[in-house]
Amino acid sequence: GNIVTAFLKEGVLPDRIQFCWNSHPSGNFLQYYNEIDIVLDPFPATGGVTTCDATCMGKAVITLVGEITPERLSYSILKNVGMNLDDLIAFDTKDYVEKALALANNEERIIELVSAIPLSLKNSILCDPMRFTRQVEAAYLEAWQRKFKDVPVRHDNTHLVSNFRGC
């Protein structure tokens, strides 16, 4: 009802809108992505698992970056896929619409992303738990060193050691 009416106001005819209420005939819901060219990330709360699913399937996700964590999940995923996807990342609603329209009118880029995103993702930090862990550890160390400048941290080959005695 309301969704179709909103699309009609923008000139999108109902036969171009498909609602998926049932399981995909193959039994794998990811197969629905084969019928999609561009994923429009919701906002203010962005996708998380849905953005991961879309990128695994090679789909471009246009996202609008907000200020707090739920508004930045897709941004974080897209920035760590392992390739430049800045043309999919918007910082205001005008930019979001412009980027979606630009991509919709760039069939060559859409085709490129279908194969490039999954390959890049496979080799990215998002699919490399050891590299990801080292990066998180480095961030923790940096945060510690900023907060507790006078309490050094040293390695003893297996874990970090500190003389910290409380806040």
Q: What is the per-residue pLDDT across 144-165, written as a single tens digit (0 to 9) for each?
A: 889 888 877 766 555 555 555 5
Which tens digits make up the pLDDT trace of 104-142? Answer: 999 999 999 999 999 999 999 888 989 989 988 889 888
Nearest to 117 by CA among 82, 86, 88, 89: 82
Give me the chain's average pLDDT, please.
87
Q: What is the pLDDT of residue 162?
A: 54
**What pLDDT score was predicted for residue 163?**
54
Q: Which of 47, 119, 109 is nearest to 81 (CA)?
A: 119
How far apart CA 81 and CA 20 sit, in angstroms, is 27
Structure confidence at residue 20 as a pLDDT band (50, 70, 90): confident
Give pLDDT, residue 75.
Answer: 96
- Cβ atoms of 108 and 41 closer than 8 Å: no
Q: What is the pLDDT of residue 167?
A: 44
pLDDT value for 63: 97
